[in-house]
Structure 1
Amino acid sequence: MLVQDEKLSSIRNAFPKKGLFAEKDWLTSPDPFPIEKKFLAELEQLGHRLLIFQRACNQLYQLSVKGKQPAWVAHYLDAGKPPELVEFSRQKQFRDLVPAIARPDLILTESGYIIAEIDSVPGGIGLTGWLNQTYSAFDNEIAGGADGMLDGFRSVLPNGGDIVISQEAATYRPEMEWIGARLKDRHRDLEWRVVAAENYEPQDGRAVYRFFELFDLPNLSEIDKTLRANEEGRISITPPIKPYLEEKMWFALFWLQPLREFWRRELGEKYFVKLQEVIPYSWLLDPAPLPQHAVIPRLEIHDWHEAAKFSQKDRDLLLKVSGFSPLSWGSRGIALGADLPHAEWQRRIDHALATFESSPTILQRFHKGRLFEHRYWDPESGELKTMKGRVRLCPYFFVEGDRVRLRGVLATICPADKKLLHGMRDAILVPSAREERSTSKL
């Protein structure tokens, strides 16, 4: 067993020369984040539930378009999107496609965990692959194993392909180059190229992994060639060009009473109940007036403008831009009401209502992460210290044939005073490892 100094030295020495995230730093720890065996089994089951959920979302949208489910479902999901993109996404040949990779952001809470959102174009694939490989040198219980992320990504582009990444997502280019190079090392006869989306030239028969958000299409001058090749069946693209699947509002639609029986039927009673336990209650900030006798569920208000008057105590609510906007990428379009001055909260509510038809916003119940302790290397003092922090877990699920495989779990441990948990300079980033019993909870 390596001692701590040797572990830290091993981690630093393994760091790729080109880095993993452009201009991004984080804190290093000699220890993976411990996950109890029982919870790891729960995560593995979650992957299949989320695949069924995404398929149900896909089905609901299409039934709405056909008039077999309420028309307002598709109306909400298509809001603010160019008609030609909507038309493209509805084509018959793409009907059954859903993303091959899903990464839910899980916040560990006192009672378990909640899913903050599901990312279909996730960053961190290469980073988690590198962390898993590096920590597996001294820990045999890393979730997904040393090569899990590489095997998972290989399943997405089994015969090689092009990882097409936009300038908007350039932060993640180094980690995808790392993935491509490692796969090339293992399969010398194949190639996984990382190429710029702005001037990409598709090659017939060559699969594409899309690493750009669909709101970014106007900035990609040559994208029509790629879309045409996809439309004509000359190339495949994953995640599929389906902007409606990349909306945060699915969590609000999940909780809507008129759709309850649809979700029960498509998910099955067991999965429906399980997802109710982990999907935070969410609302669409739709300014449409309600009948005089109606109220917004669980908030007991008749009009969203009343929410603008909530006291700070009642504002444990997150405002989130739903999708198809630069603000929906990362944590840029998220605000916690309790942390905003009252005037700013009111301004944001008013703005969300005014822009709903072009850029929908959701409101989501905030769940505070519970505290854990985790050691990290403090570069300023040159010492190992212990952080009390809150944890976001990012399990990476890959749809491989008829199975969903958990290939890695990235843990982001943020200082205790942070409420919105994401990658940051003062956060610890480590892989997760199976442990008989976790001892890091406070």
Structure 2
Amino acid sequence: MSGLSYETIRSALADQPLFEDKTWQLSPEAWPLTAEQLAELEAIGVACHEFQQALEALYLRSVAGKNLLRNKPLLAPWVADYLDRGKPAALIAHARDPKNRGAFPLVLRPDLLITDEGFVLTELDSVPGGIGLTAFLNRLYGGNAGGTPALPGGILGADDAMIKNFHVALAALRPEQRNPLIALVVSDEAATYRPEMQWLAHQLQLQGKRVFCLKPEDLFPLENALFFDVEGNPEKIDVIYRFFELFDLENIRTQKFIFESWQAGEVAIAPPMRHFQEEKLALALFHHHLLQDYWAEALSGRSVKLLRTLIPASWVMDPAPLPPGAVLDGPRVGGRSLNDWRDLANASQKERDLIIKISGYHETAWGARSVVLGSDCSREEWQGGVDRAVALAPTNLHVLQAYRKPRRLEHPVFDRPSTEPGVVGASSPAAQIKAGRLRLCPYYFIIEGKPRLSGALATFCPPDKKIIHGMQDAALLPCRLVPAG
């Protein structure tokens, strides 16, 4: 079987650990993508960026009580209530600050599943991990590390596109400076990802870029600006790439200085600290029946059509009481519409092809920690998930989403070694064609106002795993383009 050897991959990862205390399965080959899939990924990037722009307009018009449509009345003050719920007043004020208008995440990463019907978009992450890992894997599988020959077909993100475009997007926040100082600030909550950010900073330093991976406590103020110490000398920070979730702000002792420096215009922050851009319920708003005319006006025809195909049916689990004759906009249970979200507890296993997950601004909102898949859990676990969503609604809304099962696919994966390499009697594991299901995470960097696809990370999980995420049983792979014909 062609491709990289087990020893090559393992040695490269051993020399440069990219995650703290994390391992995964190895494969000799990058994940293949067709030209048709690549074209769709390009369109998905455009649609996701348009969606973020439309979401900002929706939120700010909701806050101001302005009409959402051009030629007929539509007010939606409840949108701001949903997105602001449970957030600190200071963070809400910062997100609404006129200086932040038009500030969008510079890195977009949708989570895409490959199903029998094509791509399905389950989340849109604007503070994604995996940037350094994907860049490293692109090099390794693309033949740029250790003299390894390139595999057939070009690697998506070849020529260090992930590294270059990440820097270009951030440096553009300070266009007046030829080589701005960029701090990749990683919180303790996100410490698992610190090694890949350190690697990324080092690669850019080798190119003469002033990029450093820091902890929040490394920052200190001088007058209105932010600095950190370099060999006893204070260096002024021009751009912060924050690798921490907004719910983690209270644990960051230097957050006050970050906000003050931004307010003074001394530092730019990416992604912007705007909570409404990081809520999963935004996807449910896209499907909300009262907002269909808004999205049709705010998005291009191609993007709105694509997103309607990509985003599974999703609902905000708002337990506000309804009049006796009213029903919820949601799935049906026992052939009947719901009057109360708690009625979901009575759904049969077949009707529970649904996922419950917290919307955002909570310690369980990243990874798969809050996810409850109804068809893959007991009735008691399902009821517990429904009860938690209702109980937490005053401060943390949950989203209900139709589950779209990933397609069963095949890819070569190395067997687990029977003995540690280097030990007497050890032999190289063989690569076998194995079945599994795939999550694809393309990375788009916003450059000159447009999304630029710069790489993609494929997570190939065993077929019995219903929820796909990074785990020790999964293989993490870059992607390559399959030659035509």
Contact kept, 8 Å, 1:47 with 1:406, in 2: the verdict is yes
Range moving further from structure 2, 335-344 or 318-327: 335-344
Letter in 1 for 2:8: S
Q: Which residue is 1:195 aligned to?
A: 214
Contact kept, 8 Å, 2:131 with 2:162, in 1: the verdict is yes
Whole-angstrom CA distance in 1 between matches of 2:184 and 2:103: 18
Whole-angstrom CA distance in 2 between matches of 1:136 and 1:286: 47
Displacement, 1:317? 0.5
Contact kept, 8 Å, 2:170 with 2:239, in 1: the verdict is yes
Q: Which residue is 1:152 aligned to?
A: 165
* % identity of equivalent residues: 40
Correspondence 1:395 to 2:446: no
Displacement, 1:30? 0.9
Whole-angstrom CA distance in 1 between matches of 2:84 and 2:250: 17
Letter in 2 for 1:181: H
Whole-angstrom CA distance in 1 between matches of 2:250 and 2:295: 35
Whole-angstrom CA distance in 1 between matches of 2:344 and 2:170: 47
Whole-angstrom CA distance in 2 between matches of 1:22 and 1:128: 16
Q: For residues 3 and 341 of structure 1, do their structure 2 counterparts lie closer, same or farther at Cα, with a shift above 3 Å needed? A: closer
Whole-angstrom CA distance in 2 between matches of 1:210 and 1:173: 12
Query: TM-score by structure 1 length?
Result: 0.95
Letter in 2 for 1:368: K
Displacement, 1:3? 4.7
Whole-angstrom CA distance in 2 between matches of 1:402 and 1:85: 25
Correspondence 1:164 to 2:164: no
Correspondence 1:136 to 2:173: no
Q: For residues 165 and 59 of structure 1, do their structure 2 counterparts lie closer, same or farther at Cα, with a shift above 3 Å needed? A: same
**Secondary structure at the counterpart of residue 413 of structure 1:** strand
Displacement, 1:91? 0.5
Query: TM-score by structure 2 length?
Result: 0.87
Contact kept, 8 Å, 1:199 with 1:220, in 2: the verdict is no
Q: Which residue is 2:258 aligned to?
A: 226
Range moving further from structure 2, 303-312 or 211-220: 303-312
Q: Which residue is 1:175 aligned to?
A: 196
Letter in 2 for 1:231: Q
Whole-angstrom CA distance in 2 between matches of 1:272 and 1:320: 24
Q: 2:387 aligns with which of 334, 339, 350?
A: 350
Q: Which residue is 2:281 aligned to?
A: 249
Alignment of 1:19-98 (within 5 A): 19-68=17-66, 69-98=75-104
Aligned residues: 434
Displacement, 1:18? 4.2
Contact kept, 8 Å, 1:134 with 1:146, in 2: the verdict is no
Q: For residues 352 and 112 of structure 1, do their structure 2 counterparts lie closer, same or farther at Cα, with a shift above 3 Å needed? A: same
Whole-angstrom CA distance in 2 between matches of 1:181 and 1:303: 53
Whole-angstrom CA distance in 2 between matches of 1:193 and 1:182: 10
Gaps of 5+ in 2: 67-74, 144-149, 172-178, 221-225, 228-235, 419-428
CA RMSD in angstroms, aligned pairs only: 1.6
**Secondary structure at the counterpart of residue 367 of structure 1:** coil
Contact kept, 8 Å, 1:198 with 1:223, in 2: the verdict is no
Q: Which residue is 1:118 aligned to?
A: 124
Q: Which residue is 2:174 aligned to?
A: none
Gaps of 5+ in 1: none
**Secondary structure at the counterpart of residue 329 of structure 1:** coil
Whole-angstrom CA distance in 1 between matches of 2:392 and 2:7: 51
Displacement, 1:339? 1.8
Correspondence 1:417 to 2:464: yes
Contact kept, 8 Å, 2:372 with 2:385, in 1: the verdict is no
Whole-angstrom CA distance in 1 between matches of 2:287 and 2:43: 22
Q: For residues 306 and 3 of structure 1, do their structure 2 counterparts lie closer, same or farther at Cα, with a shift above 3 Å needed? A: closer
Letter in 1 for 2:362: S
C-alpha offsets along residues 325-383 of structure 1, whole Å, 9 cap, x if unaligned? 01101111111011221122112212211210111101000011001111112232422
Q: Which residue is 1:258 aligned to?
A: 290
**Secondary structure at the counterpart of residue 209 of structure 1:** strand
C-alpha offsets along residues 82-131 of structure 1, whole Å, 9 cap, x if unaligned? 11111111111001101000000000000101011011000000000000
